[in-house]
A and B are shown apart, each in its own frame.
Chain A
Amino acid sequence: MTNLSPERQRAMLRRMITIRRFEEIASEKFRSGDIYGVVHSYAGEEAIAVGVCEALRDGDQIISTHRGHGHCIAKGADLNRMMAELYGRADGYCKGKGGSMHIADFSIGMLGANGIVAGGISIITGAGLAAQMDGNGAVAVGFFGDGASNAGPFHESINIAAAWKLPVIYVCENNQWAVNVPALESVATPNVADRAKGYGIPGIIVDGNDVFAVHNAAVDAIARARAGQGPTIIEAKTYRHRRHTERLDQPDARPSEEVNAWLQEDKDPIQRMITTLQMQEDLLPPTVLENLKTVVENELAEAVSFAEKSPFPTKESALQDVFAE
């Protein structure tokens, strides 16, 4: 259930479809050799980034993971500059220095994807500290996975945030596999959110493929943070549609029956949202949905074209930005 306006619901759906199609195109362009190195697809987890970011306002900050494209798009990053960065071009967000794992847009409060598991958790905690000292009610959201919840920065950071009542929301995207290590065998408690008890803060478990459930949980946690009541852990249960990375030379340990089950329409966050919207009269007529998909397709075609036309960075630029002048 949600009390979001129809416009906002359709906007959320559009963002989720944008993320899915962005990821599908990124995978395709990775296979064709236009994108280098490594790409981690967010396909299947769109409801979390969109559900949380829809609850944020300007001035709030987020930090992401190696699987970061979805968070960038959900926070409002420019698709052209994102695609150009994946292409390693001069007009990319990081001038071709970062690539898929390091897209950031500080102007919209997106503090960056991060190539180190758990690497962003303490940085976003510091952003929360800055927000608290600013005293303007802004919040900070750290996205991370079940794997990161087993690493030291999770504990150190959440302990400090809880002790200092920092306005931070820790969003664990539990896609049940840390690369090829199953959460069932590696997380000591049944749920990551259970650990919240150890910090004396709320730990909320939501269906991470239900965008409205995620959004409602985020609204509550953000309100709590803005009111000075401190951090919350939200654990969103989900599943990634793709293997850990798009590199086919790396194994995928997940059982195929498990993967297939999560690929069904009744589990897919986008299909579920469409179904929910279509159950309400006039909210999403077929023509509106088709139109929305066309708009997304055009935007992404434009992004690819922008990336293809952007030049590769000059060699000289390799030695620029080492230090701020």
Chain B
Amino acid sequence: MTEMKELSYVDAIIEGIAEEMVVDPKIFHMSTEAPRRLQEEFGFPRVRQTPIAESALTGMAIGAAAGGYRPIVDWRLVTFCFVAMDQIVNQAAKIHYMFGGQTRFPLVFRTTVGGGTRRAAQHSQSPYSMFMQLTGLKLVLPSTPADAKGLIKTAIRDDNPVVFFEAGRLGGVKGPIPNGDVSIPFGKADVKREGKDVTVVALAWMVHEALAAAEELSKQGIEVEVIDPRTLVPLDIETIRSSVFKTGHLVIADEAPAAASVSADIAARIVEDAASFEALKAPISRVTGLDAPIPYSPSLEDYVFPDRSRIIEAIRRIL
């Protein structure tokens, strides 16, 4: 077996984009800060540095996609895309459907989510569940460099608008990257650690916190199964249900606040299904961000965001 190389989360995404750009000349990348590797490898006009105009760029991606291109627009921080909401909500998400499926709009919006970077409320948020209401967008949220690379390739090849959420805090985190052209299908959760006692579904940064919690609890004889859905639309609820059948206990860990969230949706889907409801031996427990805009001061931000200790508390509470 050949040795796997290591890449950071961000570099893995850029590598995935670069590999796809080599294969398909219709792919181009627009952002207010062009990734250096893409600029060096492809340059203008396929890699464009743009005005700070997220609304226009989002709409332009739609128009270019209608013209046979496969644009990638990097909004950068997710909070910046809120100025483009008409183009995201009314145009990108609905345009295929409301025109009766006449044409395809293959486009990818990249954006970073999360916090923990001491940049306060307007530069920190995890609002992916808002986008889950916008039927018509596929939503990706990887937690490792390998997943990020494999999923960005699938996102680019998909014929629909895809929002590719990148966990900002994971950007520099390194991990092994499989060799070759490895894409990862949408709608396929990954069991990051197997365990028989409790299922923890975790998103993005929280996957790593859950794995740390599992490691610690393992020393005390509690075996935690950690599942990363990886894509929110489509959501692989079956893998989660299978795990619940095995463990009978479910904890959901997400940085976003609890209201109308991914964690709420997963919990609802598990309890509204008779079989998985029956399998539960205890109430579902959610570990989420608190209901506050993300504050600046480390002591405040660290309090608002959940972490491994809160996951451990939640597990203890229901076991």
Return the CB mask of B98-117 against A: 1 if under 8 Å, else 0: 11111111000000000000
In the complex, chain A residues whose CB is within 8 Å of the CB of B100: 92-98, 321
- Name A93-133 residues within 8 Å CB distance of B: 93-98, 102, 104-107, 111-112, 114-116, 119, 121-131, 133
- CB of B268 closer than 8 Å to a CB of A: no
| Docked complex Cα distance between A156 and B32 (Å) | 14
Q: Is A259 an interface residue (CB 8 A)?
A: no
Contact between chains at B51 and A106 (CB < 8 Å): no
Contact B102 A106 (CB under 8 A): yes
B95 interface hit (Cβ, 8 Å):
yes
- Interface membership of A150, Cβ < 8 A: no
CB-nearest residue of chain A to B92: A123
Q: Which residues from A are CB-within-8-Å of B159? A: 324-325
Stretch in A157-165, A176-184, A275-283, A285-293 with 4+ CB within 8 Å of B? A157-165
Chain A's closest residue to B101 (CB) is A321
CB of A30, distance to nearest CB on chain B (Å): 20
Q: How far is the CA of A163 from the CA of B48 in the complex (A)?
A: 13
| Interface: B318 (CB within 8 A) | no
Over the window 41-73 of chain B, the binary record of Cβ atoms lying under 8 Å from chain A Cβ atoms (1 yes, 0 no) is: 000010000110101111111111111110100
Contact of A123 with B91 in the complex, beta carbons under 8 Å: yes
Instruction: Let me know if A157 and B98 touch, CB within 8 A.
Output: no
The answer to the question of B87 belonging to the interface, with a C-beta cut-off of 8 Å to chain A, is yes
A81 nearest in chain B by CB position: B100
- Distance between Cα atoms of A133 and B100 in the complex (Å): 27
Determine whether the beta carbon of A156 is less than 8 Å from that of B56.
yes
Known: A106-B102, A129-B64. A321 touches B97 (CB 8 A): yes
B160 touches A130 (CB 8 A): no
- Which chain A positions have C-beta within 8 A of B98? 94, 97-98, 102
Task: Select from chain B the residue with minimum beta-carbon distance to A151.
Answer: B86
Q: Which residues of B contact A125 (CB under 8 A)?
A: 56, 59-60, 63
Question: Is B28's beta carbon under 8 Å from chain A?
Answer: yes
CB distance from A180 to the nearest CB of B (A): 21
Task: Please tell me if B135 contacts chain A, counting CB pairs below 8 Å.
Answer: yes
The reply on B118 being an interface residue by CB < 8 A is no
> Beyond A106-B103, A320-B101, is A127–B63 a contact (Cβ under 8 Å)?
yes
Are B102 and A104 in contact, with the CB atoms below 8 A?
Answer: yes
Closest to A325 in B: B159
Any chain B CB within 8 A of the CB of A322? Answer: yes
Nearest opposing residue in chain A for B71, CB measure: A126
Is the Cβ of A322 less than 8 Å from the Cβ of B97?
yes
Instruction: Name B83's closest neighbour in chain A (CB-CB).
Output: A152
Verify if A137 is at the interface (C-beta below 8 Å from B): no
Contact of A127 (CB < 8 Å), options: B45, B64, B83, B105: B64
- For the complex, give the distance between the alpha carbons of A140 and B53 in Å: 20
> When chains A and B are docked, how far (Å) is the Cα of A127 from the Cα of B83?
21
Partner of B99, one of A94, A124, A153: A94
State whether A323 and B102 are in contact (beta carbons under 8 Å apart), knowing that A123-B59, A126-B64 are contacts in the complex: no
User: In the complex, what's the smallest C-beta–C-beta distance from A132 to chain B, in angstroms?
Assistant: 8
5 A-B interface contacts by CB (under 8 A): A98-B98, A122-B60, A126-B63, A129-B63, A325-B159
Lowest 9 CB-CB distances: which A-B pairs, in order?
A: A126-B63, A122-B59, A130-B67, A126-B60, A321-B101, A94-B100, A156-B56, A127-B63, A95-B100
Q: Which residues of B contact A (CB under 8 A)?
A: 28, 45, 50-51, 53, 55-69, 71, 83, 86-87, 90-91, 95-105, 135-136, 138, 159-160
Interface residues of A (CB under 8 A from B): 61, 63, 92-98, 102, 104-107, 111-112, 114-116, 119, 121-131, 133-134, 140, 152-153, 156-157, 159-160, 163, 320-325
**Apart from A116-B90, A125-B63, A140-B63: 19 A-B pairs, beta carbons within 8 A:** A98-B98, A107-B102, A119-B87, A122-B57, A122-B60, A122-B62, A123-B87, A125-B59, A126-B63, A126-B67, A129-B63, A130-B68, A152-B55, A156-B55, A160-B51, A160-B60, A321-B101, A323-B138, A324-B104
